[in-house]
Structure 1
Amino acid sequence: MKISKIKMFYVKIPLVFKFTHSSKERVSSSSLIVKIETDDGYCGYGEGTPRDYVTGESIASSIAFFQDSIIPYLIYYEIENLDSISSILKKIDEITNEQSNPSILCAIELALLDILGKRNNKPISGILFCNRSRAVNYSAVLPILPVDMFTKYLHMVKVKKIRYLKLKVGTDSDIDRLKSAREILGNDINIRVDANEAWDIDEAIDKILAFERYHVSAVEQPIKKSDHNGLEMILRKVSVPLILDESLCNMSDAKLLRENICTDNLIFNIRLSKCGGIFKSLKILDYANKHGVKSMLGCHVGETGILSAAGRHFAQSIDGLLFVEGSYSNLILEEDIINQDLLFGDYGVGVPLVGPGLGVEVLGEKILKYAKGEITS
C-alpha cells in the first residue's frame, strides 16, 4: 500500500485549569497531529508536542520541517511491514539529526504504525512487542496550584487510591505543599517531585535534604539540563535519586550523561515525543538497561488521546519502568480528540489497549474544531 495523502494540523485545546511549573505556564495544549492516508483506504494518526524549553523545537520550525522535508519523502512511499517503516524513518534521519524535530518524527512514526496495525488487525504493541500487555499503574501529577485547588486535588488522589504522585516544585511553598500532601495522603503513597530546572546547585542540595523527611522517592531535574558537573555534585550530597528529563532528549544525551555522571542513583525520564518516537525511546531504554540506569515513561502537558494511547502501548509492554505518566487528556483538556476515555481508574490502573493500530478512534471533526493551521500534501 502506498501513502496517498499526508496532512498535519496544529491543534490548540484549552486546559480546564492553568498548568504551572518552573519552566512554563500553560493554559492550552499545543500539539501537531499528523494524518496519513493510503491508496487502499487505511488512515493513521500520530501526534507530536514540540516544547522549545525542552528540545529547542518550536511549532513554527516543526511545521517548516514537515512541509519542506517530510512530505516529499513520504508521499507515495510504500508501506508493507515494520521494516519499510524503519527504512523511511532512517531516511528521514539522514536529512536531519537526532537533536532536531523529534516531535515530528514521533508523529510520523505513530501514524505509520497506526496504519500497519489496522491493516494487520493488530495493536501496535502486538506488532512491536509480540502482544505483551499488562495493566499500567499511572502516577497522578499536580502542578503548582493555589492552596485550595491543591488540597482539592490531593483529596481526589486519596479517593482514587492512587499509588504514585508527582508534585511540581520550585517555589517558597514547596515544603508546606509536601507536608500537606503527606498529612492528607499518608505514608503509603510514593511521592516524587519535579523542579523543572528551578534551582542552582546549593539551593537544590538544601531543598532535597529538607524533602527527605517527607520520604520523597526521587527529585526530577533540579538544575539546568546542561549542568552535568552540578548534577554530579548534587548526587554526592544527597541520597535521593535524581530523575533526568530536560537533560535527556536523545541517545547522545544518554551517552553523555553516563560518561559524565555516576549513574548509580539516576533515572532516565523517557517521553515519546521528546525522544523522537517509540523506536528511539526503545533504544534509549535498552542503553539504560545495559548500563544499570533505571527508566520511567513521562509525558508532556496537554497530550491528546493519540499520544496517551501510544504511551499506554509502550508501558503495557515494557518491564521495569519505575513510574508511568500520561492518559490525563480527559482530566486537563477541555475536550479530547479521540472517542475513548483513556483516564486510568482506581489505584491509577489503566487497562491494556487491544484494538487495531493505536486502538482508539480519532475524531476528525474535533481536530478541525481546535485546529489553528493545516498543511496538506
Structure 2
Amino acid sequence: MLKNPMGIFRTVISTFVLVIFVYVSHQLTRFTNFSWQSTTLLVSFLAFLFALVIGSFMLLLRERRLDHNPWRDRFMNGALTVMAYINFLISLVILRDVFAFLDKISIATLSLETLYSSQATTTLMGLPVLFILVGHLIVRKGAFNKTVPLRFTHLPADLENLRIVHITDLHISPSLPVRLVKKLVSQVNKLKPDLIVFTGDILDSFVEKHTEEFQILKGLHAKHGIYYVPGNHEYYWNATKSLQAFRDIGFQVLINKAESLRLGSAELQMIGIPDPAANHFKEEGPDLVKVQSQLKPDSFKVLLSHQPALAKHIEKLGVDLQLSGHTHGGQFFPWNLLIVFFQRYNKGLYRIGDMQLYVNQGTGYWGPQLRLGTYCELTEIILRKE
C-alpha cells in the first residue's frame, strides 16, 4: 500500500510539467540564431511560467479550508492565465513540429528554415497573448442565448411551446466576475421561462465566499420553478453546505428524485440525479433503480444529469429528454477539437433510442477567463409536437 499517495501524485505531475518545459524550451531555441543572452532570457521566462504553474497547482491541492485572503485569489487568477498561455504555446510548438515532419516527407511546402527561424519563434511566443485577449473578450460578452426547438411525437398538447432555460457549468468562483452573474440573471428573466434548470458545476468554491452571487441567483424567476442537480465540482467544496445554499434560495434540488407538475391535462416529471463524483465523497450517488421507481408511465419525463455519458443507461428508463453539461465543448483550442476523443456526447443535440439528449457547452467557464472556439451558452429549450 502506498504510504504517501498525494506525494507520489505531486511528483508525477511535477515530472510531467518538467518534461514539457524541456521539450518546449528545446524546440523554441535550438534552431534559432538568437544570441546566448536572448536564449537565456527566453528559457528563464519559460522557467518562471512553468514554475508558476507548478506552484499554483500545489497551492490548489492545499485549498481545502475557507480562506478569504484576496492575494490568493489574485494569484490563482494570474496563474490560470499563465496556464492558458502555456496551453496555446505547447499547441503551437507541436503544430510546428507536425508541419516540419510533413515537410520532411515532402507533403508540406514550408521549409524548415522558415518554420524554425527566429521570426517564427517570436511569432509563436506572441500568438498565445492574442488568443488570450480574444478568448477573454468572448467571455466578457456574457452568455449567448441559443434557442433550441425540440420535437416529440408524443408530446402532450398542454406542453406545446413549454420553454425551459438550461444553465450549466457556471463555475461560480473567485475567477468568475460577479457582473457576469448579474448579467445572466437579467438575460434569463427577460426570457420569462416556464422552467429553469441547472445541470451542475454551478458552484466551484466555498459557498461562504459567494453570498453575493447567491443573492443574485435568488432573483431568478420561472413560472413552474427552478430545478438543480449537482455536478462533480460541487462535491469538491463541501457538497452538504453547497446543496443547502441552493435550497435556501428556492431551488428544487433533485438527488435521485422526480417531481411531478400538472400542466393542464399533462403531467410533467422533472427528474434529477447527482454526479457520480458523489460516490468518492461518501455522498448519495446516481441511483437509477430509485429513480425508476418514481416514474409514471403516462408522464413526459425530463431528466437532469451533469454527465451526458450516462445517457445510454438513462434512455432505458423511458426518459423523453435528458439535459446535461460537463464538457464545456472543450472550452478553448485545442481541446474544442480534441473533446470528441474524450466525450461521445460533447455538445449539442443527440438521439439515443427514443430519448433526446441536449448537451449545453457551459454557461460560464472553468479556469482561465477565456473561451476560444466555443462560447458561453444559455440554452432556451422549446418543446414542440412533431
Q: Normalising by structure 2, report the TM-score.
A: 0.33
Q: Normalising by structure 1, report the TM-score.
A: 0.34
> In proportion to residue count, which structure has more helix?
2
Considering only CA atoms, is the larger Rg found in Structure 1 or Structure 2?
A: 2
